Amino acid sequence: MPDVLDKLGRPLRDLRVSVTDRCNFRCSYCMPKEVFGPGFKFLPRSQVLSFEEIVTVVRAAADLGLRKVRITGGEPLLRRDLPALVALLSGIEGIEDLAMTTNGSLLSRYAGDLAAAGLRRVTVSLDSVDPEVFRTMNGVEVRLEDVVAGLDAAMAVGLAPIKLNAVVRRGLNEQGVPALAEFARQRGMTLRLIEYMDVGESHGWKLDEVVPGAELVERINERWPLSAVPPSYPGEVADRYEYHDGMGELGVITAVSRPFCQSCTRLRLAADGRLHTCLFSTGGCDLKPVLRGGGGPAAVHALLASVWGGRSDRYSEERAAWPSKSSPTKVEMSYLGG
Letter for the amino acid at 231?
P
Instruction: Answer yes or no: is 8 within a domain.
Output: no
Structural domain count, the chain? 1
What's 239's domain CATH number? 3.20.20.70
How do residues 132-159 score in pLDDT, each as one tens digit? 999 999 999 899 999 999 999 999 999 9
Let me know if residue 6 belongs to a domain: no
Grade residue 201 by pLDDT with cuts at 50, 70 and 90: low
Q: Name the percent of the chain lying above pLDDT 70.
A: 92
- Residue 233 inside a domain? The answer is yes
pLDDT 10s digits, 18-35: 999 999 999 988 888 888
Q: Which domain holds residue 319?
A: 14-336
* pTM, full prediction: 0.93
Residue 34 to residues 37, 157, 217, 251: CA-CA distances in angstroms? 6, 37, 33, 31
**Quick check: is 7 in a domain?**
no
Residue 168 pLDDT greater than 70, yes or no: yes
Rounded Cα gap, residues 208 and 4, in angstroms: 39
Distance CA 199, CA 45 (A): 25
Distance separating alpha carbons of residues 191 and 199, to the nearest angstrom: 21
* Kind plus residue range of the DSSP H or E element containing 24: none
Q: Is residue 194 part of a domain?
A: yes
Q: How far is CA 113 from CA 87, 158, 165, 214, in A?
A: 10, 12, 23, 39
Q: How many CB atoms lie within 10 A of CB 174?
A: 18
Q: Judge whether residue 325 has pLDDT over 50.
A: no
The dihedral sign for the CA sequence 75, 80, 86, 88: negative
Is 143 domain-assigned?
A: yes
Residue 329, pLDDT above cutoff 80:
no
pLDDT, tens only, 259-310: 778 889 999 999 999 999 988 777 889 999 999 998 899 999 999 999 999 9
Is 4 inside any structural domain? no
Q: Is residue 44 part of a domain?
A: yes
Q: What does the alpha-carbon distance between residue 271 and residue 262 come to, in Å, rounded to a whole number?
A: 26
